[in-house]
A and B are shown apart, each in its own frame.
Chain A
Amino acid sequence: MSGMQSGPAGRSALAHPSPVLVIPALVAAAAVSIPLFYVCLRAIEGGAGRYMELVTSELSLQLLWRTLLLVAGVVPLAAFIGVSMAWLVTRTRLPGRRIWAVLAALPLVFPSYLASFALVSMLGPGGVLQELFGPAAPIRLGDLAYGYSGALIALGFFTYPYVYLMSIAALRETDQTLEEAAQSLGSGPWRRFRDIVLPQLLPAVRSGSLLVTLYVLSDFGAVSIVRYQTFTLGIYNAYRGLFDRSVAAALSTVLILLTLVFIAMDASFRRPPRKRTSGAARPPLLLPLGRWAPVALAWSCLVIGVGFAIPTLTILHWVARALEMNRALDWSFQGTAESVGISIAAALTATLFAIPVALWSARHPSAISRGVSRIVFAGYALPGLVVALALVFFATRSMIVLYQTLGLLLAGYVVRFLPESVGAIESSAARLSPNYELAARSLGASRFRTFRTITLPLLRGGILTGGGLVFLTTIKELPATLILRPSGFETLATRIWTSVTEAFYAEAAIPSLVLILVSALPLYALVIRPVLGSSR
């Protein structure tokens, strides 16, 4: 399908991908294949009969059903929140829209275990609401915080920024001339949104939704706290209770198949965009909201309230309690520096590999290039624990010098989060026509010069968004960090974990605050400012 996108001209002029693209892309594909290979190996260890038995067991089918049910709920919710917020802050005169624009991206900074814990401890039995209002808490939302509804709220309100950020990037890069023309011809805001904005947004919504889907499939933090059994929780429980790797591996293969199905569905929805843009951005039209302003504001308050205010207030509550108890608020510079350093390294490494993967498949579509870009996604839904164990397996057998070093930890992050960067760059590349590149090449510019002066600047939005996402997910990553880190290596996430597992919430307060601050700054600089920069 996507082969159609670059058209016959694109194909002939850019037919031979440079080895500079192909080699790193193949290296990336090999690295992300390690967990896939590992899972298959462990799954068939007990024989094909046992494997089939495990995969078709009642437990497995139940987990499948519950996982699909959750995806079916979370993805539309996240897509709706993401698109509505992106549209409100880029295309309307929402009061304080620049502040909302920043706030709306912030739920991404909370690790899902922290965010769900905050939701549960705010709403649940014995929660902050109750502490504030006594046993006669005015709102009994306790039951809502658990089970399916809890998982839906937690994951919907904390993953929508994937859709939101991609949509903002798309809205900024799309051509305004069509909208202006439609307006001058008398078409109303809703019709303009449906007929012009939405089709141009679709690639972004699709890659955002795919990331949300895969996040839901792989999430452990939220579902374990709100007690909703999904595949990933089933895999963790298999490790926890059985110490039987073949059960966990068999369930993991189903998760991979499920991921491949979602990716195939995503690919079959791909249509060439009706109108590709030249990349020339102009200040957008801002729609006055009129009497809808209060509704839009109320909606923004709800989204930010759940996604940002509740976890922030919970953490501030911990700080207050720590001060009350005269506990020393310890802040570790080492943990902060190590967290930030490894996350920057992961973002840069992932970007260096994602650019070739994305460009190869977008500009030189073939079975191989598309296969590589899809396989990168295949393992994205695997729980961090499984990816980590796969790398343990690989390193202890063939690269023992790498074992428990920063290098292997970095590899683990890149293997886990590469799709975030690939997705962002691919959706940028899909929106931009290759005409400028073709023109540059036909005028005699070298491949490198074309790449440096044309491709990179045009893809800047996608590259920054992707790198920013990798940074944010790396800095809060826990399961793979615990297993792959060098002994004594501390990140903010591991410090929070150390305190929270023993219920020393007061001590988790400061690392949580620092985690949020160090995530919010690059989120603002890397993702939000460039994305909103021109829409003054």
Chain B
Amino acid sequence: MKHLLIVSLLLAAACAPEKEESATTTAPAAASTTLTLYSGRNEKLIQPLIDRFQTATGIKVAVRYGETSELAATILEEGARTPADVFLAQDGAALGAIEKTELFQPLPPAILERVEPRFASGDGRWVGLSGRARTVVYSTERMKAAELPQSLDALGDPAWKGRFGVAPSNASFQAHMAAYSAVHGEKALRELLRKLVANQPKRYPNNSSIVRAVIAGEIEFGLVNHYYLWQMKREQPEAVVENFFMPEGEVSSFINVAGAGLLSREENAVRLIEYMLNDDSQRYFAQETFEYPLARNARPSTGLIPLGELRSSQIGFAALSDSLPATLELINQSGLLQ
């Protein structure tokens, strides 16, 4: 026992200077030499890009990785005292929520002009960097594209009962439903959900397990984000699965954005966002993550249909984050989660 006490005292003593040290190292970070980035996007995806930026510009970036929604909640709690210079989110609704609080600084027009207006904030507070479209993933061995449902509404057809998969607790599914609600109204969403539940889809925790289930023959097709297909093909090149972008309906191929907003007036922070929109970075998004690069001149990865041909509405992401609460409530009530 005595030893334990001595060890603990030593440890406490050892910890004390360490604390001060880290306090002093974070203090200048808030000043100017080091940028602080809050990233709701995964480290595996983003860190290589950050490393390139650091080498190219000599600007140091300290990154805090977390879940997009939890980082958004943290920023709201920090308010104007946030140490973050840039917030990188993988969901337009989260950007829309911060936008409403005026915590985002306005972005220079030169940055905003690099993407179509529908992929940026209405009042120029954040900009989309890459896009992720909703799609139907199916096995080419078991189905033909022409036989697949042609729109979200068509998924409610009793013919599909028990044959497909969804990930109802996943943010990407929820944002898709919120987009549907923003365009067609809550009543229509309630009806769509009722039909979906009646069709007893198999439910999965996330997009990648749906793609796996299609490969394994567990389901005939599933509703996912488009880029999981390529990630899976990298692991299993022999898999015969394809994406099908539903050609009908307002938001059948709803495009959500991953984007960035500015939380300080730091000049280097603007450079970081600018960097992520340059040709190299946009090519990185296209080739490494298989997302749609959103800069006007950038090309998507081969095999993807052009961005302009996807069925996605022009609704703003502020409207999307407005319709999200009621959408979640409706998903809850529908019984899709149980």
The chain A residues found within 8 Å of chain B, CB to CB, are 59, 120, 125-126, 130-131, 135, 146-147, 224-225, 227, 229, 237, 239-245, 325, 344-345, 348-349, 351-352, 385, 388-389, 392-393, 396-397, 400-407, 410, 452, 456-457, 460, 479, 482-483, 485-488, 494, 498-499, 501-504
Query: Cβ of B36: which chain A residues have Cβ within 8 Å of it?
Result: 487
Known: A243-B76, A460-B1. A130 touches B216 (CB 8 A): yes
Q: Which of A392, A487, A501 contacts B63 (CB 8 A)?
A: A487
- Flag whether B171 is at the interface (Cβ < 8 A): yes
Known: A392-B74, A392-B78. A147 touches B205 (CB 8 A): no
A237, closest chain B residue (CB)? B328
- Identify the interface centre among A351, A352, A501, A502: most chain B CB within 10 Å of its CB: A502
Give Cα A503–Cα B236 distance, bound, in whole angstroms.
Answer: 14
Do residues A135 and B77 form an inter-chain contact, with CB atoms below 8 A? no
**Min CB gap A117→B, angstroms:** 8
Q: Which of B1, B27, B44, B66 contacts A401 (CB 8 A)?
A: B27
Give Cα A479–Cα B66 distance, bound, in whole angstroms.
Answer: 9
Known: A227-B337, A401-B27, A479-B70. A502 touches B44 (CB 8 A): yes
**Min CB gap A239→B, angstroms:** 5
Do residues A126 and B212 form an inter-chain contact, with CB atoms below 8 A? yes
B336, closest chain A residue (CB)? A227
Known: A125-B218, A406-B22. A240 touches B74 (CB 8 A): no
**Min CB gap B53→A, angstroms:** 16
Query: Cβ of B203: which chain A residues have Cβ within 8 Å of it?
Result: 146, 227
- Please name 19 pairs of A and B residues whose Cβ atoms are closer than 8 Å in the assembled complex, sorted by A: A59-B329, A120-B205, A125-B202, A224-B169, A227-B338, A242-B324, A245-B73, A349-B12, A389-B73, A393-B77, A396-B81, A400-B81, A405-B19, A405-B26, A407-B22, A452-B2, A485-B64, A486-B26, A503-B208
Do residues B337 and A229 form an inter-chain contact, with CB atoms below 8 A? yes
Interface size class of B (residues with CB under 8 A): 35 or more
Do residues B174 and A456 form an inter-chain contact, with CB atoms below 8 A? no
Q: Which of B44, B83, B216 contacts A403 (CB 8 A)?
A: B83
Give Cα A158–Cα B171 distance, bound, in whole angstroms.
Answer: 27
**Min CB gap B142→A, angstroms:** 13
Q: Which 10 A-B pairs have the closest CB atoms?
A: A243-B97, A503-B208, A487-B62, A241-B328, A240-B69, A348-B8, A407-B19, A396-B81, A242-B325, A126-B213
Do residues B218 and A135 form an inter-chain contact, with CB atoms below 8 A? yes
Do residues B332 and A59 form an inter-chain contact, with CB atoms below 8 A? yes
Query: Cβ of B22: which chain A residues have Cβ within 8 Å of it?
Result: 405-407, 486
Do residues B64 and A126 form an inter-chain contact, with CB atoms below 8 A? no
Taking CB atoms and an 8 Å cut-off, the chain B residues in 32-50 that contact chain A are 36, 42-45
Sample of 9 further A-B pairs with CB below 8 A, known A240-B328, A499-B44: A227-B203, A243-B97, A389-B74, A396-B82, A402-B23, A456-B1, A487-B62, A494-B65, A498-B42
Query: Cβ of B8: which chain A residues have Cβ within 8 Å of it?
Result: 348, 351-352
Query: Cβ of A120: which chain B residues have Cβ within 8 Å of it?
Result: 205
Give Cα A135–Cα B64 distance, bound, in whole angstroms.
Answer: 42
Query: Cβ of B62: which chain A residues have Cβ within 8 Å of it?
Result: 487-488
Query: Cβ of A460: which chain B residues have Cβ within 8 Å of it?
Result: 1
Known: A227-B338, A406-B15. A385 touches B70 (CB 8 A): yes
Give Cα A400–Cα B44 distance, bound, in whole angstroms.
Answer: 30
Give Cα A319–Cα B171 distance, bound, in whole angstroms.
Answer: 29
Query: Cβ of A131: which chain B residues have Cβ within 8 Å of it?
Result: 216
Query: Cβ of A393: which chain B residues have Cβ within 8 Å of it?
Result: 77
Give Cα A89–Cα B81 distance, bound, in whole angstroms.
Answer: 55
**Min CB gap A322→B, angstroms:** 11
Q: Which of B19, B43, B209 contacts A498 (CB 8 A)?
A: B43
Do residues A241 and B325 form an inter-chain contact, with CB atoms below 8 A? yes
- Flag whether B309 is at the interface (Cβ < 8 A): no
**Min CB gap B263→A, angstroms:** 13
B8, closest chain A residue (CB)? A348
Do residues B216 and A126 form an inter-chain contact, with CB atoms below 8 A? yes
- Flag whether B18 is at the interface (Cβ < 8 A): yes
Taking CB atoms and an 8 Å cut-off, the chain B residues in 1-38 that contact chain A are 1-2, 7-8, 11-12, 15, 18-19, 22-23, 26-27, 29, 36
Taking CB atoms and an 8 Å cut-off, the chain B residues in 291-338 that contact chain A are 321, 324-325, 327-329, 332, 337-338
Give Cα A405–Cα B27 distance, bound, in whole angstroms.
Answer: 11
Q: Which of A229, A401, A498 contacts B65 (CB 8 A)?
A: A498
Give Cα A345–Cα B11 distance, bound, in whole angstroms.
Answer: 7
Known: A125-B213, A227-B338. A504 touches B328 (CB 8 A): no
Known: A401-B23, A483-B74. A239 touches B69 (CB 8 A): yes
- Flag whether B151 is at the interface (Cβ < 8 A): no
Q: Which of A227, A402, A502 contacts B42 (CB 8 A)?
A: A502
A120, closest chain B residue (CB)? B205
Do residues A406 and B81 form an inter-chain contact, with CB atoms below 8 A? no
Query: Cβ of B69: which chain A residues have Cβ within 8 Å of it?
Result: 239-241, 243
The contact string, 1 if C-beta is below 8 Å from chain A, for chain B 167-191, is: 0010100100000000000000000
Taking CB atoms and an 8 Å cut-off, the chain B residues in 87-107 that contact chain A are 94, 97-98
Do residues A239 and B324 form an inter-chain contact, with CB atoms below 8 A? no
B215, closest chain A residue (CB)? A126
Q: Which of A147, A241, A406 contacts B324 (CB 8 A)?
A: A241
Give Cα A69–Cα B11 distance, bound, in whole angstroms.
Answer: 43
Query: Cβ of A504: which chain B residues have Cβ within 8 Å of it?
Result: 44
Give Cα A243–Cα B7 distance, bound, in whole angstroms.
Answer: 44
